[in-house]
């Protein structure tokens, strides 16, 4: 479908508005001049397709980040941190986390059910602190798996 600025730009602008992210930050993340967005928002100039494509991709990434951390305040002016979050998101998309094995899922279930950590650690052949670190890594991995799955469902919708 060809790019139609009068149809696609309002959706982009609405997404930027919902994020609460400034034009300056978006422009810096896209390595564009802020005036491209300013003139487009003012209705005095359409965003050319190559720039629109880059801006749309960055805004989509920021929307995913906001959805992933709905209760975490995000400093939309910290371009360096936002670039890192976007890079992490892209890395995760390129190399999705491995699903939990049956044994890992069982360990998490028992841990969540309140089984004694000492017993779980012994059964896993680990010290208590090693087991807790293992549980922490499993929880982080399962959160990444859930985030990737959520993005796939949203993308399919």
Predicted pLDDT at 132? 93
Q: Is the pLDDT of residue 145 over 60?
A: yes
Predicted pLDDT at 153? 55
Residues contacting 76, CB < 8 A, separation 6+: 19, 20, 21, 22, 25, 82
Tens digit of pLDDT for each residue in 33-69? 778 878 887 778 888 888 889 999 999 999 988 888 7
Q: Is the pLDDT of residue 152 over 90?
A: no
């Amino acid at each position: 479908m060809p790019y139609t600025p009068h149809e696609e730009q309002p959706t982009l602008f609405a997404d930027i508005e919902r994020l609460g992210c400034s034009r300056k930050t978006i422009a810096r993340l896209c390595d564009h001049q802020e005036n491209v967005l300013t003139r487009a928002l003012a209705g005095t100039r359409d965003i050319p397709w190559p720039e629109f494509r880059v801006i749309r991709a960055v805004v989509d990434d920021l929307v995913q980040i906001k959805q992933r951390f709905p209760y975490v305040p995000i400093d939309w002016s910290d371009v360096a941190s936002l670039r890192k979050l976007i890079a992490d998101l892209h890395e995760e998309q390129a190399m999705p986390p491995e699903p939990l094995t049956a044994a890992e899922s069982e360990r998490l279930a028992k841990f969540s059910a309140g089984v004694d950590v000492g017993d779980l650690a012994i059964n896993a052949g680990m010290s208590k602190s090693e087991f807790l670190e293992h549980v922490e890594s499993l929880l982080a991995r399962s959160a990444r798996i859930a985030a990737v799955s959520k993005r796939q469902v949203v993308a399919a919708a």
